[in-house]
Structure 1
């Protein structure tokens, strides 16, 4: 049993009610399984097909897994992070898990999926040891798609690294942007480097977010 805040009676009550709800769902799934098996008190023990048994067993398994996931979920207000990186980045490339190049399909091929409703709160961006002159800069902006990658939308959360590098290699930008389960997320890299717009040693980005 988890408690978000042992000093807050309202938090304890809320968690207790949540645990009670989980227990009731598990009991209902167990009762359903007993009825199918004919072991429930008062059960008539009618004919049961293999599909009936399979469906009841799957329901019980899903109910237990849901309760376990709920218990292991971080408490409300947690600051979590999503890490993105790429070994080599060109101007206007999107960064995902570092497994695909950019180009016209950059966002679709370089993204991660949002696990649950959350609020993006910031972006930390590093260009590693790529050289920048004093007049050069590199920006990273978070993009989100709600239609399976068809339409990437700029969030306005932009972190900018201003040269020279070394020593300037990292930047942070706070923000507030709501996202939902199954949204796709990526970071687009832009720079104003005049000689070579590519970053041969790649970049790394960490997106911070909170859950309700």
Structure 2
């Protein structure tokens, strides 16, 4: 078995364990809890496992304050001490298609859509967005992780999500080639100045 297949097999196992954990959480019908909040720890562990498979070391921080966004995305992901992207969680069932968000979630997206590298997920569905534009397809698991456990995850699901996460982790901003372009990127309306591009000019 080659390295790529080893990675896929390991991530499939990790993803199925993640689904099983969430099924166990959501099966506690006698306990009242916030559905979205139950995703935090399992998703943090899943992200770390994916990074490890990809030979990356990440640190996950929660409720990251971004002044230019007037809001707090649920998670910030750092590599080598630099913030490279965010994860925004939604309660299972809300999906990851930002064009279908409603109410407060839609208003929040209007604040967050300028983030240059963000994943929206409700645990079952995963979408990668860059400055408001969807990158690739939204990944939808074969079953519902809140009730189907490991059987909710197929090998194709694991492969697709690992590719999406690799794209997310490896994000690099386009370095401006002219002073004017740099000035535009660092303007207050553009949140990329909060990311590692800024550090490359210090």
Work out whether the TM-score is over 0.5: no
Which is greater in Rg? 1
Larger fraction in strand:
1
Q: Report the TM-score, using the length of structure 1 for normalisation.
A: 0.26
Larger fraction in helix:
2
